[in-house]
């Protein structure tokens, strides 16, 4: 008798092979048989008419703080994710001197829009070094597996203190010590090292975070510590326009160490075709023996604007600031007042650069829900500005009324990156490129304006089933992209494929019923911190290490998740019987 048998499902095994009807048996936390299984299971799931896939492996999250208090790591767990990799973009909480706790929280709050009050209340800081941080995580039960990377900003500040925080040049001794700490972190179980090379990532004081402009000597010196440890991914958050000289040292490092380097890549409206140049450089590096991969997103990266969001089009207006600090119910009552509406839509917003200007770009704002469906691929003719023209209203009037929909919980979508061409064939091109990997969900981050932890579900619903304008993606490829391919990049070769001997992380999915719900703002973080969440329907079961963790969207209460320490070897195949 098997521990678990999932019967009669359409198995999409993660390899890219054609889907096939088969049973899946699980014993001792691993898959023991795939095919026609006559033996019974102590637990059985009828998957007739359903998909059976590996659990999703999300390699770009920011649960570094949340993981210390939350056993579930929602919203990722609601979307069939069974493994997360955190510590991306060079930000994290270890190593951490006791007098640097507040400073590290401030960086995470500024860069990733995670409420600092929630982090301050939720984290207990029973660590200083990175190995101690991993030990702390290892002591806590959770519903899915977690892995961490060593963050440059924390390491640099730990070694260089104020000099590091102010981005002064590192000395050879500084570099040697940062390399030692990185090597120590990787030897303790970190899956790699991450850094930020984008000017967008800034502290509350407006300064770029530590390490952003670090020289090639520092980057290579730290990176070689990964080579000495024998494993580890070198992850960079980039401006999507990496200079060729910087790309050159990335390629040289990857070729020298034989280790993978991955950088974030999105289409920028300022250089709409630059992403093709980056992929060309990546292909050239691969051809020369350098393992460089671009981490991409499956939809535009954009903000969800509502009255409770971090920002919205009226945030800077005097009429709004007068009521901004009221409890939300009282604020809504005032917003329903025609006099308040009239004052707010007629007030001229002060001129501003960057974010302020984006919040007045009504040609690039759209109703998030249209005809009962979430619209992440909006048409230009459906913009706030276009609708205002058709109706003979000002854009301010239209967007105000959109925000007041659904009882004051209406949302506006403001795409920022991956949207410049407005037809999204570039996203298909990126996803089909052999040197890209699905990434950038930012699970656990950007709590007040973005909720992209739903990426795995969006991949199946939108790109496989629902897209009506342009090319769709094959189911088998989409499953492989977020299972085997993401797992392999980080050396997690024990998961991501449904085959005997592999870790029994699985999803059972009602493909026809699979859907993403609209975002909603909740206040369930420590200190009543806010965050946008997005739930899903259609996941009949999620299994981690052979244990059913979710049934029909509800947690079973079992917490089989573990801390992953280092790469995981592909297991020896079990006997078929």
Q: What is the DSSP letter of 227?
A: H
Closest CA to 179 of 207, 146, 214, 128: 214
Neighbours of 414 (CB within 10 A): 25
User: Tokens 């982090």 belong to which residue?
Assistant: 119
Spatial neighbors of 554 by CB under 8 A, at least 6 apart, are none
Walk across the sheet containing 81-85 and list its strands. Answer: 56-58, 81-85, 145-147
Tokens at 98, concatenated = 């006791």
From start to end of 265-403, where are the E strands? 292-296, 301-305, 366-367, 369-370, 373-374
Taking the C-alpha atoms of residue 189 and residue 130, their distance in angstroms, rounded to an integer, is 9
| Residue ranges in the chain whose pLDDT is less than 50 | 574-577
- pLDDT value for 421: 62
| Helical pair 216-229 and 244-257, crossing angle rounded to 10 deg | 20
Q: pLDDT (tens digit, 9 = 90+) per residue, 177-223?
A: 999 999 999 999 999 999 998 878 888 887 889 888 899 999 999 99
Which pTM value belongs to this model? Answer: 0.96
Sign of CA dihedral 422, 428, 430, 431: positive
Annotate 39-67 with DSSP letters as a single string.
S-EEEEEE-TTSEEEEPEEE--B--TTGG
Q: What is the DSSP letter of 167?
A: T
The domains of the chain, with CATH numbers, are 2-56+502-554 (2.30.40.10), 61-299+419-459 (3.20.20.140), 303-415 (no CATH)
* Ramachandran angles phi, psi of 561, nearest 5°: -65, 150
- Which backbone phi and psi does 461 adopt, to 5 degrees? -70, -50
Residue pair 549/74 in contact (Cβ under 8 Å)? The answer is: no
pLDDT at 574: 40
Cβ atoms of 155 and 209 within 8 Å: the answer is no
Distant-in-sequence, close-in-space partners of 390: CB < 8 Å, separation ≥ 6: none
Asked if 511 and 459 touch (Cβ cutoff 8 Å), the reply is: no
């Amino acid at each position: 008798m098997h521990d678990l048998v999932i019967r009669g499902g359409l198995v999409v095994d993660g390899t890219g092979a054609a889907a096939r009807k088969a049973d899946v048996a699980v014993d001792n936390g691993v898959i023991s048989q795939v095919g026609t299984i006559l033996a019974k299971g102590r637990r059985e799931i009828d998957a007739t008419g359903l998909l059976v896939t590996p659990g999703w492996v999300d390699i770009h999250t920011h649960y570094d703080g949340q993981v210390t208090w939350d056993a579930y790591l929602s919203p990722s767990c609601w979307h069939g994710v069974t493994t997360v990799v955190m510590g991306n973009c060079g930000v994290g909480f270890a190593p951490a001197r006791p007098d640097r706790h507040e400073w590290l929280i401030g960086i995470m709050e500024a860069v990733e829009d995670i409420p600092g009050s929630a982090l301050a209340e939720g984290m207990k800081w029973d660590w200083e070094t990175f190995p101690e941080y991993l030990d702390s995580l290892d002591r806590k039960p959770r519903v899915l597996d977690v892995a961490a990377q060593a963050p440059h900003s924390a390491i640099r500040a730990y070694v260089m203190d104020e000099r590091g925080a102010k981005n002064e040049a590192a000395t050879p001794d500084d570099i040697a010590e940062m390399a030692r700490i990185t090597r120590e972190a990787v030897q303790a179980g970190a899956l790699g090292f991450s850094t930020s090379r984008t000017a967008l990532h800034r502290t509350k004081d407006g300064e770029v975070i530590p390490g952003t402009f670090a020289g090639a000597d520092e980057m290579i010196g730290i990176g070689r510590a990964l080579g000495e440890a024998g494993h580890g991914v070198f992850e960079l958050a980039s401006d999507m326009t990496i200079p060729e000289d910087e790309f050159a040292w990335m390629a040289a490092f990857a070729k020298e160490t034989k280790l993978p380097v991955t950088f974030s890549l999105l289409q920028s409206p300022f250089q709409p075709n630059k992403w093709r140049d980056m992929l060309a450089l990546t292909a050239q590096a691969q051809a020369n023996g350098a393992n460089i991969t671009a981490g991409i997103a499956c939809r535009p990266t954009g903000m969800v604007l509502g009255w409770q969001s971090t920002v919205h089009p009226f945030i800077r207006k005097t009429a709004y600031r007068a009521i901004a600090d009221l409890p939300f119910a009282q604020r809504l009552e005032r917003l329903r007042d025609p006099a308040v509406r009239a004052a707010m839509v007629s007030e001229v917003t002060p001129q501003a650069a960057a974010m302020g200007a984006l919040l007045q770009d009504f040609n690039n704002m759209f109703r998030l829900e249209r005809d009962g469906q979430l619209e992440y691929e909006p048409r230009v003719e459906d913009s706030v500005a276009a609708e205002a023209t058709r109706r003979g209203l000002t854009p301010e009037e239209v967007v105000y009324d959109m925000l007041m929909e659904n009882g004051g919980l209406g949302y506006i979508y403001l795409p920022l990156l991956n949207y410049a061409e407005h037809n999204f064939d570039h996203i298909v091109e990126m996803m089909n490129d052999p040197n890209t990997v699905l990434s950038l969900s930012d699970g656990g981050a950007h709590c007040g304006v973005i909720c992209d932890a739903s990426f795995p579900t969006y991949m199946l619903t939108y790109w496989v089933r629902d897209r009506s304008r342009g090319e769709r993606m094959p189911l088998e490829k989409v499953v492989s992209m977020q299972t085997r391919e993401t797992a392999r990049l980080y050396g997690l070769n024990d998961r991501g494929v449904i085959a005997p001997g592999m870790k029994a992380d699985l999803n059972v999915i009602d493909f026809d019923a699979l859907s993403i719900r609209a975002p909603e703002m909740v206040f369930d973080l420590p200190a009543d911190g806010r965050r946008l969440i997005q739930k899903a329907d259609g996941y009949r079961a999620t299994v981690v290490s052979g244990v059913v963790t979710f049934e029909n969207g509800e947690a079973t209460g079992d917490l089989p998740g573990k801390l992953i320490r280092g790469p995981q070897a592909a297991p020896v195949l079990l006997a078929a019987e």
